Chain A
């Protein structure tokens, strides 16, 4: 198997789906000639032409709205919003229409589209380029919200998202884009949307995380083993909505302790929903308060202070140890 970065793995998913199904097309700002500002769509224009790899005018609401129209007439658009911080221009189209056409038409129209965008910090960027506000989408009925954590899952989940009959918001952790390589099979691989995964087994503590936070969380789990003799279980959510609460509620029934790690703001963040599910389903098993290691409730600072905003191994360890010592 070839070792790939997340950028290469996503590119492979797009290429293979376009090869297979000519209803799949790609649109967005700079996705054609430029291959995308992160080069995720590199080579697609040459392979499939400008009718299928569309360099659009600069208007995010249009990119989403036009994709909805394309889906109504049977295409399967994969649109790119250059940074999630600009996706709020498209939010209205996704919330008011992509999420609702099935219901509004009483089942007649499926909006089979994917809206991809890089999210999160870690690339020393300008304002509006580092946010992690997946809850806007996760809170919206009718949408699905997927966030892969590494190259192999990114490829498999994107293939599933393209084939999913419902609109999928696909957030790509830009800090992971080229951070490491993983083996990605050339042959087709999918992964079910709405399913989380236990990526490390343990009996003493449950970490729940996703996206760019998976790597530091696993590192923290390894440190806990070495330094504290603690076996932490790590759950990678992969899909934020619909949320698979089965694995993490079961895990906490085993461990009694939970630490939730995400880059998103703390208040009303994804962790708040996970805690609610844990309280509903695993309350009597809890041995300690559930801990949240998250971004703070401030606009994400520019990169000089970003390290203090985004959870890192140290902060994750601190949270875990407080939970263990309770």
Chain B
């Protein structure tokens, strides 16, 4: 009975297709239709501008707290465009771009951030879950949905998003473990944006990569340049195909950066250097994608200018719509709706109390 070594020869693949200067590794270039490339670019730009506009609205006091996505557009759009409508998408709370791609109305987002529950509605056919704030807890819902898909012998998949901080939570490990044991069709997309509020990635875990955590659960893990939309797309496409063909889950670590604040209530100057942010600005996901599209002659400076104008007016329209909608909302008695399928007696009487208080205001 000698002391033996169990050989665990694992390597983590790191994928980069479009470098920070927009130079392409043409051997790895994914086959994406021109139309899809143009739509991906439009969505990345739209959500960048919408994010900036929301920050503005919040600073003006017109809106409450929200979590900006600036810098993470590629790791969201590159992944989510691979899904079919019938697939499920499970967000955490910093996936605005992915949500909008999936059909979430921007006006509804503004409503939520302005404090109206109405904005969290999920349309009847939508298979995108509402935002989930307790870190990593949504991962279990994703693998539960994936189990149900498999149980019903359907062909759909689930894509769930989370951040680097989530990898420290118990629910993260419990969900990867479940996904491994039951081979559920679930793709984990980790947006490693380097910061969990003030805690840097290096203090979150001693692991060299986050992707390697998947290996402990018997799942394939891959690391990609999360600011390279082509790399994210390629990894997501492969993972979704694997899940759809019954081969189970994949873990994708997108190495990206939170270029803005954690939420609007946060001041990063307390804990991180501006120099670091500047370095990452040079790796911006949108500018390098634009260079790629220009090289492919799918985009010109003129097109970008036109698109910027179009987006500006689209956002203006959304804000107008939002302001109109807010005027018609806000009945406090509405808080009793949707607590239970049928309102129990104690809530009926508490609702009456609110109605009476309303009348006496």
**A→B interface (CB under 8 Å):** 25, 51-52, 56-57, 59, 61-62, 64-75, 92-93, 96-97, 101-110, 141-142, 144, 164-166, 194, 242-243, 246
How many angstroms between the C-alpha atoms of A110 and B339 in the bound complex?
10
Q: What A residues does B143 contact at CB under 8 A?
A: 66, 69
* Top 8 closest pairs, chain A to chain B, by CB: A69-B144, A65-B140, A73-B148, A106-B121, A242-B344, A62-B174, A66-B144, A69-B141
Complex interface bits, B317-341 against A, C-beta within 8 A gives 1, otherwise 0? 0000000000000000000011111
Whether B118 is near chain A, meaning CB under 8 Å from some CB there, is yes
Contact status B151-A75, CB under 8 Å = yes
Q: Are B121 and A66 in contact (CB under 8 A)?
A: no
Contact A66 B140 (CB under 8 A): yes
Q: Are B118 and A165 in contact (CB under 8 A)?
A: no
Residue of A nearest to B347 (CB): A242
Which residues of chain A are near B134, meaning CB under 8 Å?
92, 96
- A73: chain B residues at CB < 8 Å are 88, 144-145, 148-149, 152
User: With a CB–CB cut-off of 8 A, which chain A residues contact B132?
Assistant: 97
Choose among A25, A61, A106 the residue that contacts B118 (Cβ–Cβ < 8 A).
A106
Contact B148 A69 (CB under 8 A): yes
Q: B147–A69 contact, CB under 8 A?
A: yes
Min C-beta distance of B125 to chain A, whole Å: 10
Cα distance A166–B140 in the bound complex, in angstroms: 19
Q: For the complex, what is the distance from the CA of A165 to the CA of B140, rounded to whole Å? A: 20
Complex Cα spacing A51 to B341, Å: 29
Q: Given A68-B140, A72-B145, verify A57-B181 contact (CB < 8 Å).
A: yes
Cross-chain contact of A65 among B120, B141, B337, B345 (Cβ < 8 A): B141
Q: How far is A62 from B171 in the complex, measured between Cα atoms in Å? A: 7
Q: Please tell me if B137 contacts chain A, counting CB pairs below 8 Å.
A: yes
Q: Which residues of B contact A69 (CB under 8 A)?
A: 140-148
Docked complex Cα distance between A110 and B142 (Å): 16
**B171 surroundings in chain A (CB, below 8 A):** 61-62, 65
Give the nearest-CB partner of A96 in chain B. B134
Chain A proximity of B121: nearest CB distance (Å): 4
Question: CA A78 – CA B171 in complex, angstroms?
Answer: 20
Whole-angstrom distance between the alpha carbons of A106 and B122 in the complex? 7
Q: How far does the alpha carbon of A67 sit from the alpha carbon of B148 in the complex, in Å?
A: 9
CA of A52 to CA of B150, assembled, Å: 12
Cβ of B129 within 8 Å of any chain A Cβ, yes or no, is yes
Q: How far is the CA of A73 from the CA of B130 in the complex (A)?
A: 14
The yes or no answer to B204 lying at the interface (CB within 8 A) is no
Cβ contact within 8 Å between A103 and B88? no
- Cβ-closest chain A residue relative to B121: A106
CA distance A96 to B132 in the complex (A): 9
